C-alpha cells in the first residue's frame, strides 16, 4: 500500500509539472502573437525561472519547485506559473486546522504531510483581457489524501460572451465525472471567491473544489487532470480575441481599481496564501499572485 501511494504521488507531481510546461509554452506563444497596440514594439515576454526551496525546521531541505514569472510582456503585465512538491511536518496551527476542518484528529500524533501542485495567476497589459487564476493540487497525510483546485476568471471589464465561453469549457470537462459536478463546483467557486467586506465576488467565477477524495484515487486524479486540461481552451481564446483591443487611461484606471479587490481577497481570505506562508514555503512564490500595480479609491 505504501509503495502504491508513493507511485501515485510521483504521478501527480509529474502531471502538475507537465501542465506547467504546456501553459508556459502557450503563454509565450501569446506573447509572440501580439502584433498591435502600444506594447507591440517591445520584445515578446519570456518567463524567468527560479528554483524554489522549502526549508525544514532542522535546516534541511523539505522540497521545492519552480517559480516561473513573466513581467512587462506584450500581453502579460505579470504572470506566474508555479509548481512545487513539498513535505515535512505541519506546525501546531496547521495541525489544529486539519483536525477541525478535515476531521483528522490523528494529525496531532503524526503531523507529516506531502503536497504537490501548480498555481497560476495572470495580470494583463490590456484592460480588456481578463485576469485569471488556476491551481490544481494533491495533499497527503498518513491519515488521508485529497485533491483540490479549479480556475476562475477575473475581468475588470466584463464581456458576457467571454464569461459564457469560460464556463462552457469548464462544464464540458466536468461532465464526464458525473451529472451535476459542474454545477456543484461552480457554486463552490461562487462562495469561495466572495469578498465579504466588499459584498461582492472578485470576478465572474469558475469552478473550485477541495477535500476531494471519493476513495478511488485513479478516478479522483482523472478529475483533477481534466480540471487542469480545461484551463487553456477556456482562457487562451479570450486573450487572443482581446489583446489587440484599443484602450486608454480610463480603462487602465478601471483595471487598477479592480486589482485592488484581487489583492484584498488574496491577502485576507485565500487559504492557499495562508498555508504557504505558515508552512515556510518561499514567500515570493506564495505572493506571486499579487498584481504588479493596484489602486484604491
CB under 8 Å, gap of 24 or more: what pairs does 66-71 form?
66/17, 66/20, 67/282, 67/284, 67/285, 67/288, 68/20, 68/24, 69/288, 70/27, 70/28, 70/31, 70/45, 70/46, 71/45, 71/292
Q: What are the grid coordinates assigned to 86, written together?
A: 513539498
CB under 8 Å, gap of 24 or more: what pairs does 12-19 form?
12/116, 12/138, 12/221, 13/85, 13/116, 15/221, 15/225, 15/228, 16/83, 16/85, 16/116, 16/117, 16/118, 16/136, 16/137, 16/228, 17/66, 17/83, 17/118, 19/118, 19/136, 19/228, 19/229
281: annotated active-site residue: no
* Per annotation, catalytic residue among 123, 128, 133, 173: 133
**Active-site amino acid positions:** 133
Amino acid at each position: 500500500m505504501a509503495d502504491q501511494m508513493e507511485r501515485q504521488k510521483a504521478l501527480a507531481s509529474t502531471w502538475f509539472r507537465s501542465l506547467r510546461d504546456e501553459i508556459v509554452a502557450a503563454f509565450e506563444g501569446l506573447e509572440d502573437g501580439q502584433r498591435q497596440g502600444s506594447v507591440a514594439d517591445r520584445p515578446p515576454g519570456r518567463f524567468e525561472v527560479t528554483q524554489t526551496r522549502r526549508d525544514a525546521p532542522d535546516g534541511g531541505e523539505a522540497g521545492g519547485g519552480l517559480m516561473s514569472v513573466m513581467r512587462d510582456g506584450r500581453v502579460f503585465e505579470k504572470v506566474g506559473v508555479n509548481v512545487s512538491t513539498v513535505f515535512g511536518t505541519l506546525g501546531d496551527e496547521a495541525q489544529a486546522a486539519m483536525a477541525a476542518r478535515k476531521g483528522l484528529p490523528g494529525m496531532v500524533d503524526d503531523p507529516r504531510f506531502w503536497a504537490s501542485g501548480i498555481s497560476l495567476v495572470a495580470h494583463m497589459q490590456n484592460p480588456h483581457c481578463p485576469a485569471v487564476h488556476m491551481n490544481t493540487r494533491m495533499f497527503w497525510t498518513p491519515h488521508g489524501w485529497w485533491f483540490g483546485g479549479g480556475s476562475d476568471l477575473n475581468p475588470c471589464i466584463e464581456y458576457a460572451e467571454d464569461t459564457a465561453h469560460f464556463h462552457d469549457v469548464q462544464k464540458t470537462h466536468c461532465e464526464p465525472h458525473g451529472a451535476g459536478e459542474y454545477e456543484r463546483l461552480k457554486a463552490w467557486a461562487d462562495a469561495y471567491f466572495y469578498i465579504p467586506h466588499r459584498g461582492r465576488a472578485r470576478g465572474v467565477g469558475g469552478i473550485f473544489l477541495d477535500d476531494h477524495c471519493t476513495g478511488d484515487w485513479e478516478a479522483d486524479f482523472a478529475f483533477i487532470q481534466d480540471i487542469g486540461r480545461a484551463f487553456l481552451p477556456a482562457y487562451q481564446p479570450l486573450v487572443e480575441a482581446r489583446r489587440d483591443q484599443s484602450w486608454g487611461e480610463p480603462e487602465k484606471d478601471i483595471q487598477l481599481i479592480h486589482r485592488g479587490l484581487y489583492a484584498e481577497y488574496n491577502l485576507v481570505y485565500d487559504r492557499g496564501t495562508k498555508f504557504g506562508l505558515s508552512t515556510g514555503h518561499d514567500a515570493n512564490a506564495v505572493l506571486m499572485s499579487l498584481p504588479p500595480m493596484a489602486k484604491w479609491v
